[in-house]
A and B are shown apart, each in its own frame.
Chain A
Amino acid sequence: MIEMSGLNDLLINQPGKKLFLLGNEAIARGAIEAGVRVATTYPGTPSSEVGNVLSELSKKAGLYFQFSVNEKVAIEVAYSSAISGLRSFVFMKHVGLNVAADPLMSIAYTGVRAGLVVMSADDPSMFSSQNEQDNRNYSEIAHIPLIEPSNSQEAKDFLRYAFEISEMEHIPVLFRTTTRVSHQRGMVELGEIEKREAVGFFKSDPANFVALPVNSMGLKEKLVQKMERLKTVSEGSKLNRIETYGSGKYGIITSGEAYNVMMDAVSKYGLDVSVLKLGFTNPLPEEMISRFLREHENVIVVEELDPFLETRVRMIAQMHSIGTKIFGKLDGYFTFSHEYSPDTVAGSLSRIMGFDTKQVSVEIDATALPPRPPVLCPGCPHRATYYAVKRAVKMSNIKNPVYSSDIGCYSLGVYDPYNEADVMIEMGSSIGVGGGFSNATDQKVISFIGDSTFFHSGIPGIINAVHNASNVILIVMDNRTTAMTGQQSNPGMNINGMGDPAPEVSIEAIVRAIGIKYVKTVDPYDLKSTLLAVSGALRENGVSVIVARRECAMIRDDRMRSKKEWKTFQVNPEKCKLCMNCVEKFSCPAIFIEGGKIEIDQNICDGCGVCAEPYVCPFKAIEEVQTA
């Protein structure tokens, strides 16, 4: 029987049952089936749902789950579990692996005892990321195996397989998805759930686990030998397979999501191809590839982002003296940038294979449509903070301020009308970059950082700024959650990833301990107090901190709805002087103009009431809707 899944369905031990699962839900199920006992992460799209599911199910599934402070610590926690004999799973978005790269490179040397799988969810086309780096390259730098699934079923099945590979050679395995794999929903047939030890034991072995040069010298050689032995496993792996369509005239080598879009093009145009679909991509099945090359006059490598497979396929051809013509990115047929679609792949294939692609799209100039980028929600406390900061800067007559922003919902402060992000690079960068501006220029520097990002990697930047006498105003936008990725817990909250009560780590106590004197905590809904706190900080030297604390509007909305304490605001047309400040400067998505009048959309107004404050509406024209 096939049915839609509730989360608890991910726990049932009914092999053969089918569920319609998001790739990330299938991965969470794969971890449960593999008997994972410890799972850690720092939330990041497109990997976030794996953590949301495991956090919710951890106790029922008998596994320990942690939203770690950052990816580096997440991998360290999972590593100690894996060397204590517990299967461990750590997952993150692609840029998170940069943060975790330091431990990754060394744990490859020491190896593991029970299985350790490191998942990187890459984001071709940057749906929610600052770059689209291809993390398959990390498997090469670290000398660790690489597994690439294409759909939800493979995501679950291949994860189990990754644990087997990890334990076969006691080596961490890199499991790489992309947005379209993690966020594709499809049918998944469940497998058996393995039961495993819940409590580990660490047997000391310093020669293996203390990465001093004297030990690492030998460990490196062992690592290379492990990867050499895994070549044979990759040769015979069921993850690497050949499919033939028609007479198989052209050979195609592909992996991951590229396989899906390529196959959609093959079926649309009825192409005559033989496909070598690779799921185990480091080490590659060299013999299998050289045979495949020999069997075809022309082989096309279809993969997203970097020519990871292509360079290796060309290398294999060279080493085996195979003259097959190879097509890919390096000769310009495919692009290095952005995810592929059935259309882009069909376009490239048609240039190589010589067939006509039908273009039947409707003529419309979509660029003439008003854009609708993501916006801060109605009631978002960040809007109020940005509004107050901008006002304070203007009232204090500050010329050419530099706004250094960070990663979170508040990155949206870059857009009109706030324009309060001049630079934004990576997690925790706002304060380090801000300190740099203070050294390099005479401009006032205002850095913004969220609560979760503050803990993730903001603190060292603050210490650096204080110790090096930088002049920076740091505004911590504490909305009491890790909002952008779906409201996960963080160290500033009184609950942890298992749903248990946890000690709250105080942002104010941390910054005071660093030696910062000007520390103010404000409620951003109170525009006047926020404005005064910012104005005060603008008169200070050194590092000053304002904690703008107000819970995420989405959390408040859910609570108010469930308590049926919903209220909304409306514009009194008698009092409204059409000064346009609310639409032009405050710009809440609930406020719009119709028939020359300001209106508030009652379906999306969340009743925060900030627009009714005199700093936004000096004519008191915005009033609470009185329900009869």
Chain B
Amino acid sequence: MRTDIIIAGVGGQGVVTAGLLLSEAATIRGMHVVMSEIHGLAQRGGSVSVDVRIGDVYGSIIGRGDADLIIGFEPIETMRAIARAGNKTRVIMNSEKITPVSLSMHDKEYPSNSDLTGMADKSIEIREINAVSLAKRAGSYKSVNTVIIGAAIGLGILPFEKDDMLSALKNRFSGKLYDINREALEYGIDEILANRSVSFS
């Protein structure tokens, strides 16, 4: 048994924190977890991805096509991660766009959603959520990654329960911050369960 999760985004978006929270929820369940982290040159602004592997695994690298779930914090980075997806991979994509400098300096704008999602073949389903607006509704832009984690839990393919994630959040936040994150988690779960997220396939 194993669950392989790729989290992709832009440095500074909280990708590593999301990986730590997913890992912690799984360890609270007593499961074996291995996570990859890339440090160094990309302090901010570069592509960042983290692999979280739960269950019977050795190394921290998820094989091509093996991911069960891709959590994309940003559309372009989601598509970049989809290059590692397989036919069973589910995808959550946050709609927050961060324009790469490589486009701006050549006077180019961010590609349209359909241009981006149209790049992948039709076998893959992408669930898009506006995590920023939900995070703001929960009380803080900074709870964006908790909303996205909620959406992932809402898909029902993670090997732990909402309560495990609440315990993980409780270890990290207290008081009002915990309340905001609890709310953010619920909004994320609801968005998927109520089928309000947009699907591309």
Chain A positions within 8 Å of B, measured between CB atoms, are 2-4, 20, 22, 45-46, 48-49, 127-128, 150-151, 179-180, 183-187, 257, 259-261, 263-265, 267-268, 341-343, 346, 358-366, 368-378, 409, 412, 416-417, 483-486, 554, 580, 583-584, 587-589, 591-596, 601, 603-604
Interface-facing stretch out of B105-113, B152-160, B184-192: B105-113
CB-based nearest B residue for A341: B61
Task: List residues of chain A with CB within 8 A of the CB of B28.
Answer: 2
Contact assessment for A260 and B100 in the assembled complex, using a CB-CB cutoff below 8 Å: no
Q: Which of B35, B65, B100, B102 contacts A186 (CB 8 A)?
A: B35
User: Beyond A127-B41, A184-B60, A361-B64, is A584–B27 a contact (Cβ under 8 Å)?
Assistant: no
Q: Are B45 and A365 in contact (CB under 8 A)?
A: no
Q: Contact check, A259 vs B87: say whether CB atoms are below 8 A apart.
A: no
B104 and A372 contacting across the interface, CB-CB below 8 Å: no
Q: Total interface residues on B, using CB and 8 Å? A: 71
Q: Which residues of A contact B102 (CB under 8 A)?
A: 370-373, 416
Given contacts A186-B35, A342-B63, A587-B105, A372 and B10 within 8 Å (CB-CB): yes
Chain A residue with the shortest CB-CB distance to B87: A360
Chain A residues with CB under 8 Å of B88's CB are 360
Chain A residue with minimal CB distance to B98?
A: A601
Taking A187-B32, A374-B45 as known contacts, 14 extra A-B pairs with beta carbons closer than 8 A to each other, sorted by chain A number, are A185-B35, A186-B35, A186-B60, A260-B58, A261-B61, A267-B58, A366-B83, A369-B76, A372-B76, A378-B45, A412-B41, A589-B44, A591-B104, A592-B99
Alpha-carbon distance between A265 and B65 when the two chains are bound, in angstroms: 13
> For residue B161, which residues in chain A have a CB less than 8 angstroms away from its CB?
none
Bound: A554/B12 CA distance, A = 11
5 interchain pairs, CB-CB under 8 A: A127-B40, A179-B38, A364-B121, A416-B105, A583-B105
Interface string of B34-65 (1 = CB under 8 A from A): 11111111111111000000001111111111
Chain A residues with Cβ below 8 Å from B23 are 20, 185
Chain B nearest CB from A504 CB (Å) reads 24
With both chains docked as a complex, state the minimum distance between the C-beta of A83 and any C-beta of chain B, in angstroms. Answer: 33
Among B74-129, those with CB < 8 Å from A are: 76-77, 79-80, 82-89, 98-111, 119-121, 123-124
- A587 B36 Cβ-Cβ under 8 A: no
Check if B171 is an interface residue, CB within 8 A of chain A: yes
Write the chain A residue with the least CB distance to B124: A362
CA distance A56 to B88 in the complex (A): 44
A260's contact among B59, B82, B83, B105, by CB below 8 Å, is which? B59
Q: Please name the 9 residue pairs, one residue from A and one from B, whose CB atoms are nearest each other, closest first.
A: A260-B59, A128-B40, A45-B40, A374-B46, A592-B99, A366-B83, A374-B42, A342-B63, A263-B58
* Given A127-B40, A374-B42, A261 contacting B59 (CB threshold 8 A): yes
B7 at the interface (CB under 8 A from A): no
Are A583 and B104 also in contact (CB < 8 A) when A22-B37, A377-B43 are? Answer: yes
CB-CB under 8 A for A374 and B32, given A361-B84, A362-B89, A364-B121: no
Q: Provided the pairs A187-B33, A366-B80, A366-B83 are in contact, do residues A603 and B141 lie with their beta carbons within 8 angstroms?
A: yes
The verdict on A584 contacting B105 (CB below 8 Å), with A127-B41, A409-B43 known, is: yes
The complex places the Cα of A263 from the Cα of B59 at a distance, in Å, of 8
Please tell me if B175 contacts chain A, counting CB pairs below 8 Å: no
Docked Cα-Cα span, A512 to B36, in Å, equals 46
| A417 (CB) vs chain B CBs: closest residue | B105
CB within 8 A of A374: which of B41, B89, B103, B171? B41
How distant is the Cα of A265 from the Cα of B37 in the complex, in angstroms? Answer: 21
Chain A residues with CB below 8 A from B58, complex form: 150-151, 259-261, 263-264, 267
Residue B183 is within 8 A (CB to CB) of chain A in the complex? no
Do A364 and B59 touch across chains, with their CB atoms under 8 A apart?
no
Chain B residue with minimal CB distance to A339? B61
Contacts A342-B59, A580-B107, A594-B110 given; indicate if A362 touches B83 (C-beta within 8 A): yes
